[in-house]
Amino acid sequence: MALPSLNAEGDLPPGIHLASLTEIQTAFGASTRARENIFQRLAKILNIALSTGHLARFVVFGSFVTDKPNPKDVDIFMVFDETFDATSCRGETLLLLDHSMADTHFGASIFWIRRPAAFGGEQATIEFWQTKRNGALRGIVEIVE
């Protein structure tokens, strides 16, 4: 699963690109101290989400998956399976599920849903995160192992 080259704007081409955590580190998490720190946060968040046993999809978008030398955070969208019960979560897992707490605690902008809540379907919901603020599309990365 090789990630495509960034385009002239410094973005991945539109699409949902599959990559392992190691590939993410190589492509986006090692070129500057800021990127190394953000990658460590990303890896921690992924491990916490995986520890629930209910993570279905984990998508990274925003400035971290661009050529920006010093992104301030990492943007993440997670899909949990239909049996995920957020009310049973504790500790850092609970912090992951609260957008403002996740920003403060992890330095990450985290959004999540359960599969049944994917308006228009799960794939369409994930594809939405390709849209930049100006309406243009850029690629996003789904971490798969």
pLDDT digits (tens, 9 = 90+) for 96-106: 999 999 999 99
For the stretch 100-130, pLDDT in tens is 999 999 999 999 999 999 989 999 999 999 9
* Residue at token pair 């979560």: 89
pLDDT attached to residue 119: 87
pLDDT band at 49 (very low <50, low <70, confident <90, very high): very high
Is 30 within the bounds of a domain? yes
* Residue at token pair 């090789």: 2
Name the domain count of the chain: 1
Is 94 within the bounds of a domain? yes
Is 6 within the bounds of a domain? no
How far apart CA 69 and CA 96 sit, in angstroms, is: 25
Is 100 within the bounds of a domain? yes
Element (H, E) at 126: helix 122-128
Range 1-27 average pLDDT: 95
> What is the β-pairing status of strands 55-61 and 140-143?
antiparallel
pLDDT attached to residue 131: 95
SS3 118: coil
Is 2 within the bounds of a domain? no
Is 66 within the bounds of a domain? yes
Is 89 within the bounds of a domain? yes
Is 64 within the bounds of a domain? yes
**What is the residue range of 71's domain?**
16-143
Q: Is 1 a residue whose pLDDT tops 80?
A: no
